[in-house]
Amino acid sequence: LAKTTQPISMDSYEGQEVNITCSHNNIATNDYITWYQQFPSQGPRFIIQGYKTKVTNEVASLFIPADRKSSTLSLPRVSLSDTAVYYCPGRNNAGNMLTFGGGTRLMVKP
Amino acid sequence: GAVVSQHPSRVICKSGTSVKIECRSLDFQATTMFWYRQFPKQSLMLMATSNEGSKATYEQGVEKDKFLINHASLTLSTLTVTSAHPEDSSFYICSAMSRDTQYFGPGTRLTVL
């Protein structure tokens, strides 16, 4: 079972870039790295997924170093509506099941 | 991205009754779906893996006779909380895999009085 570690909370201000790093010490060779965003009383929303190097979409960028032991979710120019919990779940040994840690609670202030 | 729906979004029931929650993959087929439970201020906890056409696999500590899972088709899984009690009040979330990515439903808020 691949567990992940990420900061419990982060604060930022509107317009800033936010980088949240996750440790994937036990990541399996074939596992993708996926990040989710969750608002209160809603299911997690898929943000971005990658295997190595850098992935970018309309919402965020994901940086994965060569050893894949960590990943960094980068949110450009955050707004108040980006206040949420961000998760980088690990996977089970078969790689088909996500296991969630505590997530990072991001607070964006005006 | 792929869309997963849940119904109902919230339900209130009396203690001792049973409640069924539906999870549907709207634009893709899912041979495997997952059921999670989330208590306030806590992370998602996997309850069981729902497999189309076969029995569900439950995580340790989850009572299979209390949380009945049926995955009758490639787009529908149901979770039935039987003889619900106040301690079963929680936020139940399902997910389904599409092309190596797991997508989540909006969740169902269950309140047992």
B98: pLDDT confidence band, cut at 50, 70 and 90? confident
pLDDT at A25: 83
Cβ contact A43–B4 (<8 Å): yes
pLDDT (average), residues B102-113? 97
pLDDT at B103: 95
Let me know: does A36 contact A62? Beta carbons within 8 Å: no
Express each pLDDT in A7-55 by its tens digit: 999 999 999 999 999 999 888 888 899 999 999 999 999 999 999 999 9
Express each pLDDT in A73-94 by its tens digit: 999 999 999 999 999 999 877 7
Cβ contact A43–B106 (<8 Å): yes
CA distances from residue A30 to A53, A66, A75, A92, B105 in whole angstroms, order as listed: 15, 14, 26, 12, 25
- B71-93 b/e with 16+ CB inside 10 Å = b? beebbbbbbebeebeeebbbbbb
A70 close contact with B: CB closer than 8 A? no
Q: Sort out which chain A residues have CB atoms less than 8 A from B34's CB and list them.
A: 97-98
